[in-house]
Homo-oligomer: A and B are copies of this chain.
Amino acid sequence: MAFNDIFLRACRGEKTSPIPVWFMRQAGRYLPEYQEIRGKADFLTMCKTPELAAEVTLQPVELLGVDAAILFSDILIPLEPMGINLSFKEGKGPIIEPSVRSERELKALKKIEPERDVPFVLETIRILRRELSDKVPLIGFAGAPFTLATYLIEGGTTKSFVNIKEMLFSAPGLFRKVLDLITEVTISYLSAQIDAGVQAIQLFDTWAGILTRHDFKDAALTYARRVFNSLKGRGVPLIYFVFNGGHLLDLIRQSGADVIGLDWRTDIETALKVLGPDVIIQGNLDPCLLFLDEERLRDRILEIIYQGYGAKAHVFNLGHGVLPQIPPEKVRLAIEMIHDLSR
């Protein structure tokens, strides 16, 4: 089997035929094969056991025919060796203890040395590169500094973001110190992933979309840009995905990333009006559209493929992760359609 490099070529600006496709959370609960492993080990154990993490990473490559694998892990993994107690409660999201809201709590945090502190991630990558050598590229990832800071400061998920914004607005010096530290950790974490073999990087900025344009520049973009600048020249494409970032597109373009990921809200055509045609786009089918019947799903996929032709190159993806409620056959069908319709 020949190595399928359409994902990497598209990330470098080439219009491919077909266009490449991978789905966020393609290794996930909607797959019975994933559930089987998850039944034997909890989520964090899966992340920390290279054989298990590698196995679920490979599942969608083998079962669905995606054009890239993405490391099975979690954006919060680097927080633990910083001195944070991380746990996941079913249906409640992550719990981060202690939350960091003072100089004292910040001082207790440590930088990480990835080979010492998260060897399981790097070992997973090495296994995967061996397994994938004749298949598809492997994507590594991390949370963007603002998003990690949100978890760290809020202590978990939040609807109001009041603690991080309180710090940003009433203790900006402390906020900057927290972000500086997280940015440094993120750079060394991603750098180690590249050393271990990942062939592309996605930076997930799940929460930066809650910011005004004014505040996004100071609180998120500055730090994301520092990450991208540090990794430029390492030879791997860099993807920046700001969830709910439709109002920030012109600023996101200044991040230094090679590829701009879009959630489903802003259609590619509208995005390109702001970004211009000389950008590489990743996205952006609403994951819930996989509930559509085959015919209507085809129409919506086709709409996105056509809009993507307006960009320099296009990597098809969902606008967010695959939902557990979607039957795997539907996911496989969507991937087939995307390939067929873009050929």
List of B residues within 8 angstroms of A209 by Cβ: 265
Closest residue of chain B to A266 (Cβ to Cβ) is B247
Shortest beta-carbon distance from A54 to chain B in Å: 28
Indicate if the CB atoms of A165 and B288 lie closer than 8 Å: yes
**Chain B CB within 8 A of A293 CB:** yes
List of B residues within 8 angstroms of A106 by Cβ: none
Shortest beta-carbon distance from A28 to chain B in Å: 13
- Residues from 255 to 310 in A contacting B, C-beta threshold 8 Å: 264-267, 270, 286, 288-289, 291-293, 296, 300, 303
**Chain B CB within 8 A of A118 CB:** no
A209-223 contact mask (Cβ, 8 Å, vs B): 1 or 0:
111111100000000
Shortest beta-carbon distance from A308 to chain B in Å: 15
List of B residues within 8 angstroms of A303 by Cβ: 214
**Chain B CB within 8 A of A74 CB:** no
A91-118 contact mask (Cβ, 8 Å, vs B): 1 or 0:
0000000000000000000000000000
List of B residues within 8 angstroms of A265 by Cβ: 209-213, 247
Copies of this chain, how many? 2
Shortest beta-carbon distance from A310 to chain B in Å: 16
> What is the bound-complex CA distance between A168 and B214, given in angstroms?
35
Given A162-B323, A166-B291, A213-B270, 11 new contacts (CB under 8 A):
A162-B288, A165-B291, A166-B288, A169-B288, A169-B289, A209-B265, A214-B267, A214-B300, A246-B247, A247-B247, A247-B270
List of B residues within 8 angstroms of A267 by Cβ: 212-214
Closest residue of chain B to A290 (Cβ to Cβ) is B169
List of B residues within 8 angstroms of A162 by Cβ: 288, 323, 325
> What is the bound-complex CA distance between A306 and B288, given in angstroms?
40
A317-339 contact mask (Cβ, 8 Å, vs B): 1 or 0:
00000010100000000000000
Shortest beta-carbon distance from A177 to chain B in Å: 18
Indicate if the CB atoms of B161 and A288 lie closer than 8 Å: yes
> What is the bound-complex CA distance between A168 and B289, given in angstroms?
9
**Chain B CB within 8 A of A57 CB:** no
List of B residues within 8 angstroms of A160 by Cβ: 323
- Residues from 192 to 211 in A contacting B, C-beta threshold 8 Å: 209-211
> What is the bound-complex CA distance between A247 and B286, given in angstroms?
15
Indicate if the CB atoms of A291 and B325 lie closer than 8 Å: no
Given A214-B267, A246-B247, A267-B213: A166 touches B289 (CB 8 Å cut-off) = no
List of B residues within 8 angstroms of A300 by Cβ: 214
> What is the bound-complex CA distance between A22 and B168, given in angstroms?
25
List of B residues within 8 angstroms of A323 by Cβ: 160, 162
List of B residues within 8 angstroms of A211 by Cβ: 265
**Chain B CB within 8 A of A147 CB:** no
Closest residue of chain B to A285 (Cβ to Cβ) is B212
Closest residue of chain B to A324 (Cβ to Cβ) is B162
Sorted nearest first, the 10 A-B pairs with minimum C-beta distance are A165-B288, A169-B291, A246-B247, A170-B291, A247-B266, A169-B292, A247-B265, A166-B291, A212-B264, A212-B286
